[in-house]
Structure 1
């Protein structure tokens, strides 16, 4: 049996938004085993907006001092580590979170050596970096889902628990289903993915008796059940019209 690819997630904390980290990690898990997680920056960038997310996802912070004003030592440290990971065969796939065009050369070199390169950057990311990787993901963490997919709290009765619909569930379906021919992901695989990428996630903690009932509360998701009772989940807009589906209410 072929070994699962090792994935390295490298974050340029001085040239990226911390809100995109969850999405980058979700995508990384679809590429293989996330074996290396490192974040680069100075003391201010690592401890301000990035700290909570880096701790939650188990990143190793790589603190860089600026020996001369105006010089970005974090970029050099990230590039050196990436090449070392590739040459040591510790990583086959790279997810780089940055909007800095200085990494164009690194992306090209990694590709030349046979590695897959995925970049998560902001709308301002130059075209050179967008085209220097296998796939570019534009970071838009505040607008990726319609308003109804935002976290919502609903009290059906005074005795019932509060029911929530976290937005990251829709994004997880979007990422996992994108690589499937039918645009859907197995219900069990989705549950495992959510527990791995969001510590403490359970359907009960969000007020539902099971994962299926939770997913049925989303207008943006559709559940398809075959004759044997096997369930797969996809985005409502991505489900073929002719397919028998159970639409969320």
Structure 2
């Protein structure tokens, strides 16, 4: 990856495995990609059956370049090979700094590993069915959840009683404490910046998100731990340390 581009100012290539995912995922993938930088490449790969109807409409609407691949033999997925080759070519030609692969196909795990070995950032936007092999091969994994379709069954006209919504259960996984303990052991004051902690947790688990554990964000999550203490520093940024460590720091 070109070292002159920081996260948020990177050139992002979005490549979609249209044979593997639904067109409904496309807008979500573009919103994810926009967090990392400017989308400079938009391509969708599929066979003549896939790139018709709904996918055709979605690709045209979102200004994607359709990459039609014919199957030269039954059972052969030429779309996957074309996507992989175009991705590597874009990296070698320095056309992009980060690659957003929209797929749930674990066959792309090796492509992710090769890109990362060469310094590129890779993130996956996929469905819940995405295997761990692909999730863990990326820098970040973003799961797309299909919105529940409204039922068209009008035969049941019985009014349903609305149940009061329950607040989400807030979980406190142990690995967060272990991460702070590990990172704090390398600092003189025992403090770990919230940003560095978040980056570490996502590196160890690309699918990590505080929302998966019922929290609005990492700071909200840290504040629920008895074993951790969050502090706002004079500069306005937040740090976290192990409980009990702050007394030792104050005592000098």
* Alignment counterpart, residue 142 of structure 1, candidates 141, 147, 154: 147
Q: Tell me how far 1:49 sits from its aligned partner.
A: 2.4
Tell me which stretches of 4 or more aligned residues in structure 1 moved more than 4 Å: 236-241
Q: Residue 53 of structure 2 aligns with which residue?
A: 48
* Stretches of structure 1 lacking an aligned partner (at least 5 in a row): 144-179, 182-235, 242-249
* Alignment counterpart, residue 97 of structure 1, candidates 90, 95, 102: 102
Q: Residue 32 of structure 2 aligns with which residue?
A: 27
Q: Residue 37 of structure 1 aligns with which residue?
A: 42
Q: Tell me how far 1:48 sits from its aligned partner.
A: 2.7
Distance 1:19 1:43 in 2: 19
Aligned counterparts, 1:113-128, within 5 A? 113-128=118-133
Q: Tell me how far 1:237 sits from its aligned partner.
A: 5.0
SS at match of 1:50: helix
Please identify the structure whose Cα radius of gyration is greater: 2
* 1:131 aligned onto 2:124: no
RMSD of Structure 2 on Structure 1 (CA):
2.1
SS at match of 2:74: coil
Q: Residue 160 of structure 2 aligns with which residue?
A: none
SS at match of 1:84: helix
CA deviation map 1:193-213 (0-9, x unaligned): xxxxxxxxxxxxxxxxxxxxx
Distance 1:142 1:89 in 2: 36
Aligned residues: 150
Q: Tell me how far 1:56 sits from its aligned partner.
A: 1.4
Q: Residue 82 of structure 1 aligns with which residue?
A: 87
* Stretches of structure 2 lacking an aligned partner (at least 5 in a row): 149-193, 196-214, 224-252
Distance 1:120 1:30 in 2: 13
Q: Tell me how far 1:27 sits from its aligned partner.
A: 1.1
Q: Tell me how far 1:138 sits from its aligned partner.
A: 1.4
